[in-house]
């Protein structure tokens, strides 16, 4: 017990400041460890994360301050019972109404974000078929479906394909500032396509195709991995997402096409234009 009790409003101020300080520590920690993400979709999810965190912290500060204040202010001082009463109309309505409004608001914002990030890719978006297998990845790019630099006359079967091994992480090339649609498949067990900087993860399930779309906004190399325990070498199922400018992407495609499909195939597929 304090020998010189602080005035009531000072005590309330002290506990509010203390819980506010805790809330600031939470914000600092979150901003230090939470990746911002590199895609439009990730930025929307990141915004949602901060809205929810800040609302939660405001609620925390108010509830913690009220709790500590009540514990101190109304602690047992003698054997006399305090005044006994039932009900408190206004405060009860507020204690039900305010949380309900907060939940409705957060639900609405979350749904709107979900609808935006689950938006289907435009038809002309680059499409990459991702196949997970024990224990690496295959990335296939169809020559007829390369986004802005597609060859509409390419043979629909012409595709370049990058296949990794557990010892050699495959590189997933993406052009910056363009929507990319991923089609996720698996022929053995369930894997999970997880790119930390997309703030997104989606399972590859045998017998079905899962898809999602992102628009990367930053160039660079970003590490990624399988996020579903899929067997003994699951930990070696890593890959690198390399986001590059369109020019560099086209040069890489041309180089891989020449290597994998050969000059002949390219000539013959453009030769079909006259058909």
Q: How far is the CB of 192 from Cu ion (least distance, A)?
A: 7
Residue 200 makes CB contacts below 8 A (sequence gap 6+) with: 39, 41, 42, 45, 117, 194, 212, 214
* Beta carbon of residue 205, minimum distance to Cu ion (angstroms, whole number): 12
Task: Decide whether 20 or 166 has the Cβ nearer to Cu ion.
Answer: 166
Q: By CB under 5 A, which span of 35-43, 70-78, 222-230, 263-271 interacts with Cu ion?
A: 222-230
CB 187 within 8 A of CB 131: yes
CB 54 → Cu ion: shortest distance, Å?
36
Binding footprint of Cu ion, residue count (CB under 5 A) = 4
CA 11 → CA 1, 6, 24, 64, 73, distances in Å? 13, 6, 20, 13, 9
Q: Taking CB under 5 A as the rule, does residue 226 contact Cu ion? A: yes
Per rule CB under 5 A, is residue 224 in the interface with Cu ion?
no
Find the shortest distance in angstroms from Cβ 204 to Cu ion.
8
Give the span between the Cα atoms of 178 and 215, in whole angstroms: 5
Place of tokens 């479906």: 145
Quick note: the x/- pattern for Cu ion over 70-89, rule CB under 5 A, is: --------------------
**What is the maximum span of the chain, computed from C-alpha positions, in angstroms?**
101
Stretch in the footprint of Cu ion (CB under 5 A) among 58-66, 77-85, 237-245, 252-260? 237-245
C-alpha pair distances (Å), 191 with each of 46, 134, 203? 25, 9, 6
Nearer to Cu ion, 136 or 269 (CB): 136
Question: Least distance from C-beta 227 to Cu ion, angstroms?
Answer: 8
Under rule CB under 5 A, residue 230 binds Cu ion: yes
Residue 209 is given by DSSP the state: -
Q: What is the smallest separation between the CB atom of 228 and Cu ion, expressed in angstroms?
A: 6
Closest contact distance (angstroms) between CB of 229 and Cu ion is 8
Q: Is the peptide bond before 135 cis (omega within 30 degrees of 0)?
A: yes
According to CB under 5 A, which one of 15, 128, 237, 261 is a site residue for Cu ion?
237
Q: Which stretch binds Cu ion (CB under 5 A): 94-102, 103-111, 113-121, 233-241?
A: 233-241
Would you list the DSSP string of 223-256? Answer: EEEE-S--STTGGG-EEEEEEE-HHHHHHHHHHH
Binding site for Cu ion (CB under 5 A): 191, 226, 230, 237
């Amino acid at each position: 017990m304090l020998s010189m009790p602080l005035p009531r409003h000072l005590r309330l101020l002290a506990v509010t400041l203390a819980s506010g300080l805790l809330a600031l520590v939470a914000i600092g920690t979150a901003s230090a460890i939470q990746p911002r993400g590199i895609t439009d979709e990730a930025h929307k999810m990141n915004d949602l994360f901060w809205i929810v965190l800040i609302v939660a912290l405001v609620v925390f500060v108010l509830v913690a301050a009220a709790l500590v204040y009540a514990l101190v202010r109304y602690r047992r001082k003698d054997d006399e019972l305090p005044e006994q009463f039932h009900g408190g109309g206004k405060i009860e309505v507020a204690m039900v109404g305010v949380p309900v409004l907060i939940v409705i608001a957060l639900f609405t914002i979350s749904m709107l974000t979900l609808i935006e990030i689950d938006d289907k890719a435009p038809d002309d978006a680059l499409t990459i078929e991702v196949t997970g297998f024990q224990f690496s990845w295959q990335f296939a790019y169809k020559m007829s479906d390369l986004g802005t630099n597609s060859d509409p006359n390419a043979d629909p079967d012409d595709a370049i394909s990058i296949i990794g091994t557990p010892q050699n992480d495959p590189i997933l090339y993406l052009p910056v500032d363009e929507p990319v649609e991923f089609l996720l498949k698996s022929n053995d067990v369930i894997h999970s396509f997880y790119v930390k900087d997309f703030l997104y993860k989606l399972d590859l399930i045998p017998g079905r195709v899962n898809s999602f779309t992102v628009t990367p906004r930053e160039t660079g190399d970003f590490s990624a991995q399988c996020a579903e325990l899929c067997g003994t070498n699951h930990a070696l199922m890593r890959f690198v997402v390399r986001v590059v400018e369109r020019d560099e992407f086209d040069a890489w495609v041309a180089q891989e096409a020449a290597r994998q499909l050969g000059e002949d195939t390219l000539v013959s597929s453009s030769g079909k234009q006259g058909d």
